[in-house]
Structure 1
């Protein structure tokens, strides 16, 4: 007989016994093992659908799917064709070098992504989840992946729920559903059938996969497994969520397209001009012109850019990993740097997810308790000073002791870490008791003799405790309004006085004030038992004529480091938003404490979002920073609305309900400790320590990386532009400068193709890579995030690139003119000597340009020696250039000749003009900015 759940009926609206009959299972005995195996074979394991593993060959190919890589591969093809046309003599150096760079880039990307995948797997639990089920009348523990529809789940305190199920019985059953709904407080469950279909968080007769039991016991029949569970439906949303390229990927693609077009134009123009200026009479001449065009194409393209970009991003990833942040994709680091909004979950992300008693109100006043979380450290204060009032001390101690006695939680320490078992709210009393001297000892005098458990209907819990000579008492903890209705007296110091209307009103006012401050309130009352020997089993009749002691204010406190991180984000122009499933009052209070919003700022609920049009939603997200009682679809709506406004959104979270929004965001950040597996898979970055401050540190790191990317782009492009201008103007004005053909050359060129290649080898990779790890020169968090419309290379930067390129070209050609006969300056050296001097000038000019490029406006002499790697790369380059000029073997390979000291001095002096001209340009830019017209504003208006 085929048994399935009726998809047209919500199990929460059907009687539990009816659901069991429909699933052909006897709740008293459970499924037979054979039947469970048959259903497992039919329906498949209780697992979320996993993506098919990506083959290694596809991962490798993916590293080369980049526009700039395509451009380099075209350059390899052209270079190889030119080498073949020239007769295939020697090695195709151009093609081999570019191919090696392409391969290096692919290897770096593959290795880094493999490391990230391994780190993510290491964060996942190494033990398989298990569930207790009833099969053939026996309790059995089975892997949760083997649960099937119809299994009878047996739920106990501390259990993780392995599948969606309809409750059959429930005794004081409370579950934590924070990972699914975002609700921070445990939810009371009941087997009573619901009258109508309700939202997920209000289905009190259902338990869901991914939640956990914090109190009580119960039994439930499994109604959905795998992708049919509520978690599975969120996973379906996740699969349908579109993932866009990062801003940096878009920018690099745009730059690559621009460079590709520029290269084609430059190569064609130079080849045409060269052909027109020189007499092309043989096929050899044609090959020379073609090789010159290919060499210029290589010069114009910073072929080291992909590899350098990957290395710089990988170094940034490693730096973040040392700060407990695992980045799965290299480009995600930069994306964080351009984030304009951090949309964060509350529970477990901004808060500790550890309920804490922060204040106690009694008849004699208020006691404040310092410390947060489950570590029992802190002090008791009154009015900001150490608690000293005997009456207030007595009353507060009785509140905490009573809360510890009417309590089923446990607080333990393991390896210095404090952990709880049971209801987090009850555990809060155990922690708070350590902060008031003598309270723990007072509670330990008593032993429990009976209990009436907490239920959602009663809203309180009672215990019968006996302390020998101390006496026997009924201790009650629960909702203050319920307790007050059963109290006839109030504790005032050591005395018990009647609870007259004035004192009753004062106690109610205390509760209202704490509730208005977003505290969850629990009152404590007691009654002494006169004759303990005649006291029978505890029952509800004993919960009358109580003495009211006071009320505790409980809250899930913010993480201590988050407020500072929020302030740092705001200083950097990054807006922090809270999106939570918690109560609006609680959400607004936490947001106010953290500095996310000002006092009195409202929280918008998910129900209110559902009534808004897309346009209205965009308006709301522009002004509102706190959202409460939201469903997973609302989180997606908020992220999409922000992105539609042009925001770059970083979304943080830990629960299953956060996963779709994390994937849709520009960068999703999952919690590594409390985060669910689904969330970690959806995120681009995982915080191994669940520390929100790490996100802000990553924003700083991302901005610094972006600055360094601009630095080496400025350097590479301006230096390569200098090579292009040198060759182009050298060919066009060859006669004017004095460059004439020699007997051994087919056509006249200012630089040989091998010399152009050498310049790229010596000047591109080393210095550019050193600039990629340049320390932060300016405070990157003192400026607003770059807008999505801002270009990686804006007009101001392009002007600087062209300017430096022209200065380089001018300095190089003027150096050649100085040593050549004729031209503007009369010289007496051969073309080989002049070309070697110009070649050296261009190399040294690029080394000077290294220091220029560290900032668009800041002087090169500021923080001149802060980057040792930069000086090392320049020193190595200088040594290699001396070698290529002076060593006979390299002279033959690169067409150079030895130079005397005078030639070296002129080359160095002419190369330094790049530094001095750029210092003058920066001085002018700084003057303009001081006058109140920032370059960025001029650029945006131009």
Structure 2
């Protein structure tokens, strides 16, 4: 029935509709398809069969986006005010402060844009999910057309290896199986049929539909296109993706808050200082007022850590490069830190936690059972009996297992080949591939089979029969005891169906009657393996008296009726898409770090629970929530299930998105991994979306903030470790920058207020200040960038993954850090002002030097104190004396100290910054005063550690 949406070429639920009615509703013919003229008309009506792509963002808009940060806006305001003050002074020389800040802002913006471009180059552009060409019947002729020209009503011709170009209702199938993992998360290829379904079904259970972007792994078929482009299932996901807003990262929110707070603080500080100076000074000329204004501007600039945006970008960029070395490509700089804050990792199953390579792991025969070690398509691993003995010695069990593996490999259409790089690749059905790999694990078995027999005919697999047979003839004719030359029928398929066609069972090399007891034992083994979430397949054989030439000309129906009867049961195998070997350790590491791991998959609940239990995501006995169960819940029920359930199966893209939203509503930072198109909306909505680089689709890579080049779940945990280390380093240089700037602010403010006490007043200056504006700007330029950058690349501490993830309510700059900032700032101000008092007459400590030397001493003490503070700031609890292994920090401190010596002793720099030379004794005094910042902070840390230890 047509949709009631104004379109006559789309159907509502075509999977519930008979195929003839589907064709009629779409105006198509199941024999001749559409006419070329009608196809052209529909193409003009519906548009090309492709997803809408966002237009590229021009560079100028990217640059502007980098300047929207509140802290950057604050710096731009500081530039404007600085230029205004420079103009008011007469525009002499160069406005150094304005130029320096402007250069920092521009460099930060360019760095951000360059990193985005680099990530885009690494990821490449969004590729079309559709196949480049498609085979259709138009006007009764089969032809190849560009996939973008496929229209609703087209009659598709599907063959093994094809990518389905659009959503289509199947009208004819022959052993058709389609891999739908990219869309539904189903790990196994889905057997297709043509009958209408009985009622509402999940996307993964619509067996009479083929969906755009999925791949045909076996068989052939024909289908009528029901939806193209944005109307197809992939288009719906793309639309959902476009409607999903990407939230700012926790770090972006925090830095924005700091910027706003500092903006208010800067204005207040500047006003208070300027008003205070005006009140205590006897200003007489316009130049005096300009000097006061310039002081206020300089102090405002001093209060703003202008190096913060640039340092933050550089540190995140360094983290991006480190992650790239670990196969994690980060598209947005801020996403690096977000991983470190992740409290939940929602992971897809197929291809993320598992290898997406079906592996035969167990064989059960009449004489016992064996397990096969190794995983994936590499034919490496032992074949061991249940008691641990190897099957190399022969015996009845080995003969039976060999018959099962050789038989399953003979009744097989897949191809397994070794690649030049040492890896193994499979063409064809993954389940067939599992037999080919397992056969190679028994030495000599494959070679013996190929030397013994060859295929002369086959009965293909169909979803109705659930069986496949290969008719094998001897390579060299063999005469049996009665003198007849016969072919062998090798059949594999669903155990319950195959068992019904067996009359004997293989025991060693002999066939014995299949009595009720043996039949019950087989069914019990099948039930046991199904309970372990293994896909079960039986293998049976029959030796006939038919000559090879007599079989070749028989059709499939005759072969089935004549040969797939009175078979000899060989055994049953268990197959599973195995977990990645490193995934269990990665899950354990995440749990130790306080990170919850949730599996969200479109696969069967039993399979999902098996993998989740094996990996340690859930304990034995846990249950999975399914999409149909979730649909029946109200909002409160949703939230409760998401809080208590860690395995979600048979879910749709909408379910995944809603699960992520529910977790975020609980205040959790969510990392979402995935590889299929169905994962893309949830990846974009999550705090950080992690896409798979090898098996992932281009749509998923576009939606993700990070891409795993190796599809390895363990890489996520390594990235979390890197993110936590980066966050710890961000806290270090924030503590350093804010406390150092606080020291400058308090030094100037207290110096102005206490000018009379310190002996600053009465030296012939109308405006009495402890530091000149140029000296304040020099301190910022010298100490804000180099040491902060060095702290940004501080080595990670061993306990970085032993702490729980930080809560969203936990501030980057918390109350404890603000206490550190105020304490260190106060110490810096006290020792700097003490340097003035020591050298000037009339203060608390009597001196005999002039105001220029006193200012130089205070200037030098403040610089050196900030350099000592660089070692303090590396930890709020641990001693600076135990954390000395950062050569970049030592280099930055040495460079800054050398430049300060130059400012004090080089004549032209003395003139520029108002300094005079200091004697060796005076340098020693400055060094001792500045070092008080280190020693007093060490004492405070001792007190804090003892207090924390006492609290337990």
2:775 is aligned with 1:755 = yes
* Inter-partner Cα distance in structure 2 for 1:104 and 1:900: 39
Question: Residues 170 and 190 of structure 1 are in contact (CA less than 8 Å); yes or no, is this contact kept in structure 2?
Answer: yes
Residues 43-70 of structure 1: CA distance to partner in whole angstroms, max 9, x if unpaired? 2211111112222221111110111011
* Inter-partner Cα distance in structure 1 for 2:913 and 2:28: 86
* Inter-partner Cα distance in structure 2 for 1:220 and 1:300: 69
| Corresponding residue number in structure 2 for 1:313 | 316
Residues 335-365 of structure 1: CA distance to partner in whole angstroms, max 9, x if unpaired? 1100000000000110011100001011111
Residues 809-862 of structure 1: CA distance to partner in whole angstroms, max 9, x if unpaired? 011111111111121211111111111011001000000000000011111111
2:706 is aligned with 1:685 = yes
Question: Residues 123 and 688 of structure 1 are in contact (CA less than 8 Å); yes or no, is this contact kept in structure 2?
Answer: no
SS of corresponding position for 2:511: strand
Match of 1:473 among 461, 484, 488: 488
Residue 434 of structure 1: how far off its partner (Å): 0.3
Residues 727-769 of structure 1: CA distance to partner in whole angstroms, max 9, x if unpaired? 11111111111112434x3311000000000000000111111
Relative to structure 1, is the Cα distance of residues 128 and 481 closer, same or farther in structure 2, using a 3 angstrom cutoff?
closer
2:161 is aligned with 1:142 = no
Residue 194 of structure 1: how far off its partner (Å): 3.3
| Corresponding residue number in structure 2 for 1:650 | 671
| Corresponding residue number in structure 2 for 1:81 | 84
SS of corresponding position for 1:558: coil
Match of 2:584 among 534, 559, 563: 563
Match of 1:154 among 138, 153, 157: 157
| Corresponding residue number in structure 1 for 2:689 | 668
Question: Residues 126 and 698 of structure 2 are in contact (CA less than 8 Å); yes or no, is this contact kept in structure 1?
Answer: no
TM-score normalised by length of structure 2: 0.95
| Corresponding residue number in structure 2 for 1:44 | 47
The 4+ residue runs of structure 1 with deviation greater than 6 A are 125-128
RMSD between aligned alpha carbons? Answer: 1.8
| Corresponding residue number in structure 1 for 2:747 | 726
Match of 2:389 among 385, 391, 395: 385
| Corresponding residue number in structure 2 for 1:939 | none
| Corresponding residue number in structure 1 for 2:503 | 488
* Inter-partner Cα distance in structure 1 for 2:918 and 2:145: 83
Residue 607 of structure 1: how far off its partner (Å): 1.4
Question: Residues 79 and 95 of structure 1 are in contact (CA less than 8 Å); yes or no, is this contact kept in structure 2?
Answer: yes
Relative to structure 1, is the Cα distance of residues 118 and 620 closer, same or farther in structure 2, using a 3 angstrom cutoff?
same
Question: Residues 401 and 442 of structure 1 are in contact (CA less than 8 Å); yes or no, is this contact kept in structure 2?
Answer: no
SS of corresponding position for 2:569: strand
Residue 458 of structure 1: how far off its partner (Å): 1.4
* Inter-partner Cα distance in structure 2 for 1:862 and 1:615: 51
| Corresponding residue number in structure 2 for 1:938 | none
| Corresponding residue number in structure 2 for 1:94 | 97
Unpaired segments of 5 or more residues in structure 1?
Answer: 934-942
Q: After TM superposition, list the pairs within 5 Å mapping 1:348-747 onto structure 2.
A: 348-382=351-385, 383-387=387-391, 388=393, 390-415=395-420, 416-444=422-450, 445-467=452-474, 468-469=476-477, 471-532=486-547, 536=551, 537=554, 538-743=559-764, 745-747=765-767
Question: Residues 50 and 130 of structure 2 are in contact (CA less than 8 Å); yes or no, is this contact kept in structure 1?
Answer: no
TM-score normalised by length of structure 1: 0.96
SS of corresponding position for 1:670: strand
Residues 797-819 of structure 1: CA distance to partner in whole angstroms, max 9, x if unpaired? 11011100011001111111111
Unpaired segments of 5 or more residues in structure 2?
Answer: 1-5, 479-485
2:886 is aligned with 1:874 = no
Residue 123 of structure 1: how far off its partner (Å): 8.8
Residues 558-604 of structure 1: CA distance to partner in whole angstroms, max 9, x if unpaired? 11111111111111111111111111111111011111111121111
Residue 303 of structure 1: how far off its partner (Å): 0.6
Relative to structure 1, is the Cα distance of residues 574 and 195 closer, same or farther in structure 2, using a 3 angstrom cutoff?
closer
* Inter-partner Cα distance in structure 2 for 1:424 and 1:350: 17
* Inter-partner Cα distance in structure 1 for 2:608 and 2:20: 39
| Corresponding residue number in structure 2 for 1:908 | 927
* Inter-partner Cα distance in structure 2 for 1:12 and 1:533: 42
Greater shift, 31-40 or 733-742, is seen at 31-40
Relative to structure 1, is the Cα distance of residues 390 and 143 closer, same or farther in structure 2, using a 3 angstrom cutoff?
same
Residue 33 of structure 1: how far off its partner (Å): 4.1
Match of 1:108 among 103, 108, 111: 111
Question: Residues 404 and 443 of structure 1 are in contact (CA less than 8 Å); yes or no, is this contact kept in structure 2?
Answer: no
SS of corresponding position for 2:412: coil
Residue 608 of structure 1: how far off its partner (Å): 1.4
* Inter-partner Cα distance in structure 2 for 1:685 and 1:561: 20
SS of corresponding position for 1:838: helix
Greater shift, 731-740 or 449-458, is seen at 449-458
| Corresponding residue number in structure 1 for 2:784 | 764
Aligned residues: 930
Question: Residues 9 and 152 of structure 2 are in contact (CA less than 8 Å); yes or no, is this contact kept in structure 1?
Answer: no
* Inter-partner Cα distance in structure 2 for 1:122 and 1:95: 39
Residue 4 of structure 1: how far off its partner (Å): 5.6
* Inter-partner Cα distance in structure 1 for 2:872 and 2:191: 66
